[in-house]
Amino acid sequence: MNLRLSLLALLSGLTAPAVAASATAAGPAYPIKPIRIVVTYTPGGSTDVVARLLANPLTEILGQQIVIDNRGGAGGIIGTEIAARAAPDGYTLLFGTSAGLSINPLLQRKLPYNVERDFAPISLVVVNPQVLVAYPGLAANSIGELVKLARARPGQINYASPGIGSPNHMGMELLKSMTGIDLVHVPYKGGGPASTDLIAGQVSLLFNSIPSVLPYMRSGRLKALAVGSAARSPAIPEIPTVAEAGVPGFEYATWYGLFAAAGTPRGIIARLNAAAAKALLAPELAQPLRAQGSEPRPTTPEELARFMRVEHARWERVVKATGLAPH
């Protein structure tokens, strides 16, 4: 008996440091102070709105205040770099976007960070279906009619975007590459001016987020041709997808996700992932998100990493098709 007790004591002494190290790595006390989420755009935009909606339930679930830190500028590069350089302790997170993490790396030759190397995926947050809207005077009321009209008038129909390399620009270039139509790109300095000129009839088409154009659709100042996502949007279920309307395989939507700095302990990543999933699946958050056209889409960290690889490959093909050169 004494020998057995001695062996047990010895084993306990040997394993205690390993158990303690494992517990420390997992961050059992995390979080013990407020958590900052860096949003790479200014307050009031759709990215900021979704981040703040998520912050409220995360604060309750994690028991610490979630602080939104808006760091806009340079197409999201400034805020993304801040998050990439943060300590890997789970107290500074990135509210990453498709523009900043999937498209910018294809168009910017020297980014101050590497998406795969410098970030640890936590969870996808939402997917934002984009809707293709047209000036009411355009003689096309569906994707099929638009393709037919564009083929009859190559290079004569134009479309707006918030700027060269924006997701809106890339979405339309994806449509062009999959249908073989020739449309003229008119880049603007932001979504507001692009929408204003579309309503005025200065341009004919625009891919944009549903909340941005829904009031104009309802008032008849714009008409919707199709949504770019794989499935119809619950916000506008009467509008078919581009794929349904005759372009099989077409999928274009923007997205937001949560990321930590690379090297953040797996236990902390798991804690944040579970909190994000609980928040996004709760009706109190899911319903207002869907009402504004965003689809809650919590994932595992591994699923988000795979999703981003698919996104990168899709937009890499589009960038090559457009002939856009990294700068």
Quick check: 9 pLDDT over 80?
A: no
The whole-number pLDDT of residue 190 equals: 84
Stated length of the chain? 327
Confidence label for 13 from pLDDT (cuts 50, 70 and 90): very low
As a dihedral over the C-alpha atoms of residue 144, residue 146, residue 148, residue 152, rounded to 10 degrees, the angle is 180
- Taking the C-alpha atoms of residue 322 and residue 185, their distance in angstroms, rounded to an integer, is 11
- Taking the C-alpha atoms of residue 226 and residue 240, their distance in angstroms, rounded to an integer, is 5
- Taking the C-alpha atoms of residue 313 and residue 311, their distance in angstroms, rounded to an integer, is 5
Half-sphere exposure of 46 (CA within 13 A, CB side): 23
Bigger pLDDT: 325 vs 155: 155
Confidence label for 286 from pLDDT (cuts 50, 70 and 90): very high
The predicted model gives 267-295 an average pLDDT of 95
**Taking Cα atoms as reference points, which of 102, 104, 97, 94 lies closest to residue 264?**
94
The predicted model gives 134-141 an average pLDDT of 98
Say if strands 92-97 and 35-39 run parallel, antiparallel, or are unpaired. Answer: parallel
User: Cis peptide leading into 31, omega within 30 of 0?
Assistant: yes
Q: Over the stretch 219-277, which tens digit does the pLDDT of each residue have? A: 999 999 999 999 999 889 999 999 999 999 999 999 999 999 999 999 999 999 999 99
**What's the predicted TM-score (pTM) here?**
0.84
Domains and CATH numbers, the chain: 35-128+253-322 (3.40.190.150), 129-227 (3.40.190.10)
- Taking the C-alpha atoms of residue 194 and residue 262, their distance in angstroms, rounded to an integer, is 37
The whole-number pLDDT of residue 89 equals: 98
Q: Over the stretch 70-82, which tens digit does the pLDDT of each residue have? A: 999 888 899 999 9
Question: What average pLDDT does the structure give for the chain?
Answer: 90
* Cβ density class 48-67: b for 16+ within 10 Å, e for less: bbbbbbbbebbbebbebebe
Question: Where are any strands of DSSP class E within the chain?
Answer: 35-39, 66-70, 92-97, 119-134, 158-161, 184-187, 205-209, 223-227, 253-261, 295-296
The whole-number pLDDT of residue 7 equals: 34
Q: Over the stretch 184-213, which tens digit does the pLDDT of each residue have? A: 999 998 888 999 999 999 999 999 989 889
- Taking the C-alpha atoms of residue 320 and residue 322, their distance in angstroms, rounded to an integer, is 5
